[in-house]
Amino acid sequence: MLKKLFIIAMFAIAVNSASAQDVEKIKSVEDYNKIISSLKGEVVMVNFWATWCSPCRKEFPDLVKLFNTYKEKDFNLIFVSFDDESELESEVIPFLKKNNVDFKSYLVKMSNPDSIILSFDSNWEMGIPTTYLLNKEGERKWKALGSRKYEEFEAEVQKLIN
């Protein structure tokens, strides 16, 4: 019996580890730019969010659904969290797991996290969620400040996917 419990416990740990969210830290505007540059050739949606942001949490499942619908069609979704680094293990990763995010996400680890968005959008209204849609050349084609529904995200993505 003890051997069975040990095997079950090891399996549970292995499954949990295998689904552990891969969250990379962005330490500079240059880090962010490298990520975006590496995705040229794909339509990319970038969502700036935080676990403490109620509208962010509300739209999150729609974004994950959008990714799962279009990931085979040269579409990529990047979540960039503005949560404090101290909340990575206690808040961010559990939230990502709960929402079945099984792709790399990012956490801003900078003294001035706003500088990432301000580096390419000087008119940013300083609120989240903020979502940008980039075409395959990496050009910004759409912006949404505040929570949106799946249908609105999908309509914008469909304009750019060939």
Residue identified by tokens 């051997």 is 3
Q: Any idea of the CA torsion for 126, 29, 60, 63, to the nearest 10 degrees?
A: 120
CATH number at residue 144: 3.40.30.10
| CA 23 centroid distance within chain | 9
| Residue at 72 is within a domain | yes
Structural domain boundaries enclosing 121: 21-160
Buried b / exposed e over 96-118, threshold 16 CB at 10 Å, is beebebeeebbbbebeebeebbe
| Residue at 27 is within a domain | yes
| Residue at 54 is within a domain | yes
Residue 6 confidence (pLDDT):
40
| Residue at 147 is within a domain | yes
Structural domain count of the chain: 1
Residue 111 confidence (pLDDT):
85
d(CA 148, CA 162): 23
Residue 78 confidence (pLDDT):
97
| Residue at 13 is within a domain | no
- Positions in the chain whose pLDDT score sits under 50: 2-20
